[in-house]
Amino acid sequence: MKLLKITILILFAAVLIYASSDLPYRGDPDTVMHNARSITDTAVIGSYAIQESYTETRTPNMVTVILGDYRSIDTFGEQIVIYTAGLITILILRRRRREDEG
Amino acid sequence: MKDKIESPIVLLGARLLSPYIMVFGWYVIFHGHYSPGGGFQGGALLAASILLIRVAGGSKIGTLQLNEKINTPLAVIGVLIYFATGIAAMITGGYFLDYAFLPIPGMDPAWLRYTGILIIEVGIGLAVMAILIMIYDNMAMGEDRD
């Protein structure tokens, strides 16, 4: 049974590694997804970010520019989600401890 | 946990490791412009450095290092840094979170956007650190007191 699991894992890894050999290079602007056009026939964000992110923000890391600048409201939402999780631990767990003590 | 003796060796090892993890966390936050990293990852590392002391030394030593009364406002401050950056850009005439309109004199828009990203990354890092510690505190602190 253990041998079967290991074999399945190795086969799965082989499939994934074989599939990854077909991926485009990171940041290559000539790939299919970056040449796609939106329904209003404008360029999609991928090629725009690759071409303009450094000149617009002086930041070499494209991912940081997209997370912090182009999609910053989305990141703000993520932070609010984490903040809500922290508030809920205060509301639920802290009160129960106080009742146990009193 | 009265019957268990706290190990000074474990606490000493945690005290040795904790500052380096914290420095690396700030490095990940501030170097996020040039390498993989950013607010969320750096905040998780900062929280790890403080939680290491709390796990190794118990709630008494952990409370001495970072009190709950300081930790809970830190989470709010982290979120407010992000929100205030957006509102500041909005007041001076741009859209919400449009960093090119931040009211910092003597900078062209590209460097303003660079600075804006840096400010919000610090805000995210503070909030994530404080909230991870807050979750640990509310779930586990006080368990070893009685």
pLDDT means over runs of 10, chain A (102 residues): 94 95 79 78 79 89 90 93 92 68 54
| Local confidence band at B20 (pLDDT 50, 70, 90 cut-offs) | very high
Residues of B in contact with A78 (CB under 8 A): 40
pLDDT of residue B82: 94
Chain A CB within 8 Å of residue B142 CB: yes
Q: Is the pLDDT of residue B3 over 80?
A: no
Residues of A with CB under 8 A from a CB of B: 55-61, 63-65, 67-69, 72-73, 75-76, 78-80, 82-83, 85-86, 89-90, 93-94, 97
| Local confidence band at B4 (pLDDT 50, 70, 90 cut-offs) | low
- Residue B47 CA from chain centroid, whole number: 7
Best of B29, B35, B124, B129 to disrupt the A interface (most A CBs within 10 Å) is B124
Q: Which of A73, A69, A78 is nearest to B43 (CA)?
A: A78
Share of chain B above pLDDT 70, in %: 92
- pLDDT tens column, B108-138: 989 999 999 999 999 999 999 999 999 998 8
- pLDDT tens column, B64-79: 888 888 999 999 999 9
pLDDT of residue B142: 59
Q: Is the pLDDT of residue B27 over 90?
A: yes
The position carrying tokens 């910053």 is: A72
In the chain, the amino acid numbered B117 is: I
- pLDDT tens column, B34-91: 998 888 999 999 999 999 998 888 878 888 888 888 999 999 999 999 999 999 999 9
Q: Which of A78, A95, A58, A102 is nearest to B34 (CA)?
A: A58
Reading the block at residue B88, the tokens are 């500041």
A:B CB pairs within 8 Å = 87
Best of A52, A80, A83, A95 to disrupt the B interface (most B CBs within 10 Å) is A83
For the segment B101-109, the average pLDDT, to the nearest whole number, is: 88
- Residue B18 CA from chain centroid, whole number: 14
**By three-state DSSP, how is residue B81 classified?**
helix
Distance CA B42, CA B125 (A): 6
pLDDT of residue A64: 92
Give B34→chain A minimum CA distance, Å: 5
pLDDT of residue B42: 95
Please give the residue that has the higher pLDDT: either A100 or B95: B95
